[in-house]
Chain A
């Protein structure tokens, strides 16, 4: 079955430390890949997307993600976390060719310690 897995439900990092959030997918062909961020009570904001080409993708707010086909992964990274990065992060996919719906992982809640 097609699925998106975010293995870490909660992650706590100190401000200024590096961050990596994991995402694995299970699809027949490489889907289009996205990371979204959601602050409490808010909608989702797109951080970055991967369709094809360079496997290291740069996004907003200093985030980047690396697509690894061999591992079916699309992990999100940030070199130095700021307190304002505390939020919930969702990995999402759309089947190649566009499709009509995003399939989301269950999310990773990020807490930043000052």
Chain B
């Protein structure tokens, strides 16, 4: 069990640029989740995949955000035309079923200049 892996750990970019983050879940987990955490807050749910199907999206996920999990393994989260308000920690988690606890990666911290 190598745990949930996220890349990169840190991303600094200028406002208006596009960024993409990657998440590799625990290998036998078919459920994958993305969360966003801003300073001083708990993580907030963004979206959820079961295998390659994106089954739920939060209202927080604006049109500038898109997530994919093309082969039911790793996932990517892309933010287009980044804004200052996108600065946050983006966390990925995975689980084997809906009743099993979610295991989190160390996150990608995004800073918008």
Contact = CB atoms under 8 A, between A and B. Distances in A.
Given A34-B101, A43-B4, A51-B99, A102 B45 contact: yes
Interface in B20-72: 31, 33, 35, 40-45, 48, 55-56, 58
Contacts of B6: 43
B104 A107 contact: no
Contacts of B48: 100-101
Nearest to A90: B42
B17 to A, nearest CB: 23
Given A92-B42, A102-B45, A103-B45, A46 B107 contact: no
Contacts of B33: 100-102
Given A43-B4, A43-B91, A99-B98, A104 B44 contact: yes
B13 interface: no
Contacts, number: 62
A53 interface: no
Contact of B102 (A4, A51, A90, A102): A102
Nearest to B3: A43
Interface residues of B, number: 28
A46 B31 CA distance: 17
Interface residues of A, number: 26
Interface of A: 4, 32, 34, 36, 41-46, 49, 51, 90, 92, 94, 97-107
A106 B41 contact: yes
Interface string B65-99: 00000000000000000000000000101000111
Contacts of A45: 104
